[in-house]
Amino acid sequence: MKLWKFMDLIKFLNLVLTEQLHFQRINSFKDTYEGYDQYFYKNELSKVFPGEQDQLKKLSEAIRFNSYVSCWHSNEYESAAMWDLYASKNGSIAIESNLEALKESILEHPEMMFEFNNVTYIDYNKHEKTKASQQIDEIFRCQFYKRKSFKHENEYRVILRPFNNKNNKGILNIVTIARNQSLEVIRSTPVTMKAPVDIKKLIKKIYISPDTSEWETKTIISLLERINLDIEIVKSELYEII
């Protein structure tokens, strides 16, 4: 499965020069539904923690303020829509990877854990309700849900969860945070995080925006050759008649 990430040149240079992948906190996206299943929190989870509304609120916030996302487009072909949405400026870049390369490229970190999955696009009004009493780990599942309004993104995502105790990961780490920290502290997490990656494993091919002029294309190729990435670089032929 091919995976794509579209970005402007500055973000691309930051990726390859720092060898760190950017992750955005899940509740900082424009879509306010990100990582939040209203039915789950108000109904099913309250059965597990009856009469503890303050703790439920803190738990909900702890999850969303400690979950970070790297978004990828899943497609066997280059996407005109993704160029327009996320890399419309001249000189923008798309990188081609794949699932195996993405997983292998993210380096182990003593204070980070990662989850990988396709996004499922649902109608929240019709979707089968999560049964929290059956499996408390389902608390994280909604972070791989998006509304059907975003189905055009065909997203694959990686979720980063920070922790500071190798024996205290996942839901256990989140519950500990909710119990021991105030809402003010919980909400003070950074908006972005970076994870170390092996660039040469991650990137299979680099595409320059199809709208980029000839001189800009030559400049970008020259710049990237100086960085010595040893990765194939081409200008997109999306709108060229062959």
54-68, 80-94, 161-175: least confident range: 161-175
- Separation between Cα atoms, residue 107 and residue 97, nearest integer Å: 16
Residues 73-100 pLDDT 10s: 999 999 999 999 998 778 899 999 999 9
Residues 124-137 pLDDT 10s: 777 555 444 344 55
**Entry pTM:** 0.89
**Dihedral over Cα of 47, 53, 55, 58: its sign:** positive
- Give the distance between the most distant pair of CA atoms in the chain: 66
